[in-house]
């Protein structure tokens, strides 16, 4: 019942935000702007989403290897595709991560490997924060239109970097054990159990460096995707500025107040692109074309999910027999 109410609230918020942004725009102009987009560039942009799937799977494979689990790359590619389906067609953006976490356990029969998905996401967020932080000095149009933007970007990057250091790089977990020791046992024990899943990465600096490198490549691919869609619409926004615009939009859309960012996405791009004299109708068309690329990826992921069969795959280092159900 509670989940149903939360979904209903998200739907209402999404509808309200759409009504708000469309009230000051002309729907015919929005559709006309989308129809005038340069189709070959859109096809290039949408193909980048599939490139990102392979990069994402490669990063995930390296993180699983840290746990001593070897999974064939094509298997992980299929899992990431299925995750894209759940991300786009469930009323949240974490459904895909939950599916991948389940697959991580299924590949290894170890609950600890599920942390690979969390680490995967954390590294991606850290890279986005660093992109934004590095781009702030070069985007005066945007920083001038959003109050205290440099402060918020720096704070977010510092928090994520501190969290990553505390979990992965600090000796003996840094200050974390001391904090847990001060908490009641009923609270400290489950937290320590969760953190224990990440201890496989402690001291694995080479593996983390490789995963970080994959994250840089993946998030750069994401930003380029947004840039190419913008160029398809003829937007004359400096390329470097997208390395600030995209992380900001993605971070805000992670706030679970709408259905998959619908409504929020349109308002955000109207705000950010408005700093470059781009009208709300064009900004909404941009938001919809960006979202369309994700939907296309999700549809293909749904087809992959529909045809997944139960068949044994060899997963080295996964335990007795090393043979698990590769598909379901």
Q: Is the pLDDT of residue 320 over 50?
A: no
Query: Any residues with CB less than 8 A from the CB of 128 and at least 6 apart, and which?
Result: 219, 246, 247, 250, 251
Do 276 and 28 meet the contact criterion of CB atoms below 8 Å apart?
no
Q: Is the pLDDT of residue 328 over 50?
A: no
Do 41 and 231 meet the contact criterion of CB atoms below 8 Å apart?
yes
Residue range 143-153: mean pLDDT, rounded? 80
Residue range 50-79: mean pLDDT, rounded? 91
Query: Any residues with CB less than 8 A from the CB of 318 and at least 6 apart, and which?
Result: 69, 107, 108, 109, 110, 324
Residue range 110-125: mean pLDDT, rounded? 77
The per-residue pLDDT for 115 is 74
The per-residue pLDDT for 139 is 86
Bridge partners of 232, per DSSP, are none
Q: Is the pLDDT of residue 257 over 70?
A: yes
Distance CA 84, CA 94 (A): 10
Summarised one tens digit per residue, pLDDT across range 149-190 is 888 888 888 887 877 776 666 555 555 666 666 777 666 666
Between 11 and 106, name the one with better pLDDT.
11
Do 105 and 111 meet the contact criterion of CB atoms below 8 Å apart?
yes
Task: State the DSSP code for 26.
Answer: -
Summarised one tens digit per residue, pLDDT across range 216-247 is 999 999 999 999 999 999 999 999 999 999 99
At residue 70 the predicted structure's pLDDT band, cuts being 50, 70 and 90, is confident
Give the helix ranges, DSSP H, for 146-236: 149-164, 176-181, 185-196, 205-232
Across all residues in the chain, what is the average pLDDT?
83
Summarised one tens digit per residue, pLDDT across range 270-291 is 999 999 999 999 999 999 999 9
Element housing 137 (H / E): none
Rounded to two decimals, the pTM is: 0.86
Of 267, 263, 268, 209, give the one whose Cα is nearest residue 244: 268
The per-residue pLDDT for 166 is 67
Tokens 């920083």 locate to 143
């Amino acid at each position: 019942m509670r989940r149903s109410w939360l979904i209903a609230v998200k739907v209402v918020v999404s509808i309200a935000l759409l009504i708000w942004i469309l009230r000051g725009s002309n729907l015919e102009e929005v559709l006309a702007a989308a129809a005038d987009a340069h189709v070959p560039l859109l096809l290039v942009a949408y193909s980048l989403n599939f490139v990102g799937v392979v990069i994402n799977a490669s990063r995930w494979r390296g993180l699983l290897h840290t746990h001593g689990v070897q999974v064939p790359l094509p298997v992980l590619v299929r899992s990431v595709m299925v995750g894209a389906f759940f991300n786009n067609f469930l009323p949240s953006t974490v459904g895909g991560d939950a599916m991948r976490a389940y697959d991580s356990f299924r590949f290894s029969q170890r609950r600890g490997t599920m942390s690979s998905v969390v680490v995967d996401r954390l590294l991606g967020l850290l890279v986005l924060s660093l992109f934004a932080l590095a781009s702030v000095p070069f985007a005066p149009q945007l920083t001038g239109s959003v109050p205290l933007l440099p402060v918020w970007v720096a704070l977010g990057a510092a928090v994520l970097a501190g969290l990553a250091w505390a979990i992965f790089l600090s000796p003996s977990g840094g200050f974390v054990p001391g904090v847990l020791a001060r908490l009641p046992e009923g609270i400290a024990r489950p937290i320590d159990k969760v953190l224990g899943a990440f201890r496989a990465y402690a001291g694995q600096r080479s593996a983390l460096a490789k995963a970080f490198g994959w994250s840089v490549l993946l998030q750069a691919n994401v930003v380029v995707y947004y840039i190419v869609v913008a160029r398809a619409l003829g937007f004359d926004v400096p390329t470097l500025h997208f390395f600030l615009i995209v992380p900001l939009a993605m971070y805000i859309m992670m706030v679970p107040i709408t259905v998959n960012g619908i409504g929020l996405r349109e308002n955000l791009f109207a705000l950010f692109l408005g700093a470059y004299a781009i009208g709300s109708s064009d900004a909404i068309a941009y938001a919809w074309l960006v979202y369309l690329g994700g939907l296309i990826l999700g549809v293909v992921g749904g087809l992959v999910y529909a045809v997944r069969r139960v068949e044994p795959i060899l997963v080295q280092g996964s335990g007795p027999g090393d043979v698990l159900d590769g598909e379901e």
